[in-house]
A and B are shown apart, each in its own frame.
Chain A
Amino acid sequence: MAANSDGINDIHWLMDILQNIDVGLVVLDRNYDVQLWNAFMEGHSGLSPQRAKGENLFSLFPDIDESWFRQKAEPVFQLKTRTFTIWEQRPYLFHFRNSRPITGRSEFMYQNTSIIPLESVNRQADHICVIIYDVTDTAVGKLDVSRANETLSQIQTRDSLTGLLNKSSWLPVLEDYFQSQQPGCLLLMDMDHFRDLNHSIGHQQCDELLRRIGQGLKSLSADNYAARFGGEIFSVILDNHDAASSMELAEKLRRSVLNLGRNSQHDISASIGVAERSDQNGSAMEWLSNADKALYHAKESGRNRTSLFKN
C-alpha cells in the first residue's frame, strides 16, 4: 500500500515538475494535432491547454513554416530518431516575446528545439514531443561578440578617415592580384607639399580633402583595390587596364585633385606614378617599387604630373 502511494506521489511530482519546468513541452500526434501543452507554452502563447489540445499546430500558429518543420519532424516519426533545431538556423519555432520584456535586449525569444519520438505500446513512434529551450541570452551574447569582431576587423583593416583599406591589409590584395597573373596597372599618388598645406589650411580641412580624394578613388576600381597607403599617399590597382588607359585615368585623377583647390587661395595638387604589370616583374614588391620609381620621377620633374614607369 505504502509503495503504491509512493508511486502515485512520484507521478504527481513528475506532472508538477513538467508543468512548472522552464522549457516548453508540446506533444503532437501524427497529424500534428496538439496532445500536450505545458505551462511554459501556455504562459508564453496565452493559449490554455484546453484551447490548444486537439488543435492542429499549423492552424494555431500560421506563422510556423510548415514544410520546414515537417522536414525536421518527419524523420522522428519515421526513423525514431531525435532531431534538433538551433537558433542559428531559424531564431525561433514559436514567435514568443522575450521572457525579460523590460531589460531583455531582443524583442523575441530565441529558441533551440529538440524533437523526440514517443513510442506507443506497439513500438511505433506515433507521437513526438517538441521541447523548446529559451536561448535568448546565449544568442544575443553570441551575436554581440560576432558584431564586435566585425567592428574590430573593420578597424584593423580600414582607414577610418577614408574608409579605404590600410596598407597592411592592401598589400596581401596586391600579392594575390600579382599571383593571379592578370594584366593591370598600379597607381601611386602622393599629395604635393602636403605639410605646407596642413599649416596653411589646417588639419581639419586637410582631413576633409583626403576624405574626398578617398571617395573619388573608390570609383576607380573594385572596393578593395584602393588603399590609403600612408599619410597622404594612395595606391590603386587598376585591374585589366593597360598603360595607355591607366595613364588616361591617372591624368583625370590628377586634374580632379587640382580642381579641389580651384576656389581656394592654396595650391592643391598631386603627383602620380603608374607602373604596368609586366612579365619581368619577379614579385609584387618589384611591381610596387616600379610604381614608386615613377612617382619619384613625377616629383623630380616638377610635381603635379603623371609618370609612367619605363624600363
Chain B
Amino acid sequence: MPAAAEILTEDQRDCYQELTNVAMGQAADRLARLLNAYVVLPIPKISVIENSDLNMALQGATGDSSVSAVCQGFIGAGISGEAMLMFNDASFASLASLMKYEGPLTQEAELELLMDTASVLIGACIHGIGDQLEIVFNQGHPVVLGQHCDLKDLVAYGNNGWDKALAIEIHYTIEHVNIDCELLLLFTEESVKTLNKKVDYLLD
C-alpha cells in the first residue's frame, strides 16, 4: 500500500478501476464473439508493484502450474507499458475446441491459439483504455515469453531499468470450460504521472 500511495491517490485508483471495467468489458465482448462462449467478467485489480514483486504478481495471477505467455509493448502520448497475457497450460485443450482448431495440439498449435487470443484481448483492452482517455496507443509486435515454463523463468532477467509500475490485473475465465487466463497491463512509473493528469481531468 505505501508504494501505491506514493504514485497514485485513492480517487485515481478508483478511476483506473472504472476505466478498466469499461475496457475489459469491450475486450470480453470481443473474446466472447471470437470464442462464441460466455466470458465471466472479473473485477480488475489495480496495484503498484515494484520490480522485485513482478514475479510475485505473476505467481498470484496463475498459481504454480506451468504457463505460456506473450507480451506486447504499447506506447502513445508519452505513456508506455507492456501487456502480458498468460495461459495456464491446462487451458489449451478447451481453447482449441472453442476456437475450432483442428489437428493435434502441438506446441505450434498452442502458440497459434495464444497469439490469436492475445491479439484480440490485448488490443481491445489497450484501445478501450486509450479511447476513454483520448490516447491512441501503438502496439509493438508480440513476443513469446515462453511456452510450458515455470513462472519464475518467464521474466527472469532481473533489473531492466524500472522500479515501480502500475499493474492492472484482469483474470478472465470462461463459463463451463477450463480456460484460465490472466491479462496484466503494466504502465511505467513516468507514464503514471502523465496518466494521472489525464485521469484528474476526468475526475474534475
Contacts and interface: CB of A to CB of B under 8 A. Distances in A.
Contacts of B72: 84
B111 A81 contact: no
Interface stretch (A43-51, A72-80, A92-100): A72-80
19 contacts: A72-B116, A75-B34, A75-B116, A75-B119, A78-B33, A79-B33, A79-B34, A81-B119, A81-B127, A82-B119, A82-B123, A83-B123, A84-B72, A84-B119, A84-B139, A86-B142, A88-B111, A114-B141, A133-B141
Interface in B91-146: 108, 111-112, 115-116, 118-120, 123-124, 127, 139, 141-144
A89 B112 contact: yes
Interface residues of A, number: 16
Contacts of B108: 89
Contacts of B144: 86, 88
Given A75-B34, A89-B115, A81 B120 contact: yes
B146 to A, nearest CB: 11
Contacts of A81: 30, 119-120, 123-124, 127
A88 B68 CA distance: 14
Main secondary structure of the interface of B (DSSP, over half): helix
A86 B112 CA distance: 10
A82 B116 contact: no
A255 B116 CA distance: 59
B119 A83 contact: yes
Nearest to B142: A84
Nearest to B115: A89
A89 B112 CA distance: 6
A69 to B, nearest CB: 12
A71 interface: yes
Contacts of A75: 30, 34, 116, 119-120
B33 A86 contact: no
Contacts of B124: 79, 81
Interface in A84-120: 84-86, 88-89, 112, 114
Contacts of A114: 139, 141
A62 B196 CA distance: 51
Interface string A296-309: 00000000000000
A71 B141 contact: no
Contacts of A72: 116, 119
A137 to B, nearest CB: 14
Contacts of A78: 33
Given A71-B116, A84-B115, A89-B108, A79 B141 contact: no
A112 B142 CA distance: 9
A77 B119 CA distance: 13
B141 A86 contact: yes
A133 to B, nearest CB: 7
A84 B111 CA distance: 12
A84 B115 CA distance: 7
Contacts of B120: 75, 79, 81, 83
A133 B72 CA distance: 16
A78 B30 CA distance: 10
A71 B34 CA distance: 10
Contacts of B127: 81
Nearest to A112: B141
A82 B112 CA distance: 15
Interface string A42-72: 0000000000000000000000000000011
B139 A82 contact: yes
B30 A86 contact: no
A76 to B, nearest CB: 9
Contacts of B115: 84-86, 89
Nearest to A76: B119
A83 B141 CA distance: 10
A112 B139 CA distance: 13
A300 B30 CA distance: 75
Nearest to B102: A67
Contacts of B142: 84, 86
Nearest to A83: B119
Contacts of B112: 71, 89
Contacts of A112: 141
Contact of A86 (B34, B123, B139, B143): B143
Contacts of A89: 108, 111-112, 115
A169 B51 CA distance: 34
Nearest to A115: B119
Contacts of B118: 84
A85 B143 CA distance: 10
Which of A78, A84, A89 has most B Cβ within 10 Å?
A: A84
B122 to A, nearest CB: 9
B30 A79 contact: yes
A71 B96 CA distance: 13
